[in-house]
Amino acid sequence: MAQLRQDAAEFETRGAKVAIIGPDGPNAFRRYWETEQMPFTGLSDIGNKVADAFHQEVVWWKLGRMPAVIIVDQKGMIRYTHYGSSMSDIPENSELFEALDRIKTAS
C-alpha cells in the first residue's frame, strides 16, 4: 500500500480511483487509514466475499491471502489483473500506469 501511496497524485492524474480491500474489520481499517493517512478508499472485506468473487488466492503457509491488483474500467470491465504468488509479488506502479494508459488509449 505504501508503494501506491507514493504515487497517489500520478494515479489521480490518470483518472484512476484506487480502492484497497482487505480482510480486516472496519475498525482496524479505520485506525490504519487514519494513522497512515492513506489517500485512497479502504474497504473492509471481513467475510472475504469480494476477494472470493475475484478469485484471490489464499495460501496459509505464505501468510494468508495473496496480493491481487485488478483494474476495472469505467464500464465495469476488468482490464488488468495481477495475482501475486507471494506477499511481495506486487506490480510496480510503472506497470500499473502503463496499463492505465493503454486502457485510456483504447477507449
Residues 53-95 pLDDT 10s: 988 887 766 567 888 999 999 899 999 999 998 888 999 999 9
pLDDT of 24 reads 86
- Residue 70 CA: distances (Å) to CA of 30, 58, 84: 22, 16, 11
Q: How far apart are CA 48 and CA 69, in angstroms?
A: 16
> Stretch 43-57: mean pLDDT, rounded?
88
Domains plus CATH for the chain? Answer: 2-106 (3.40.30.10)
pLDDT of 82 reads 95
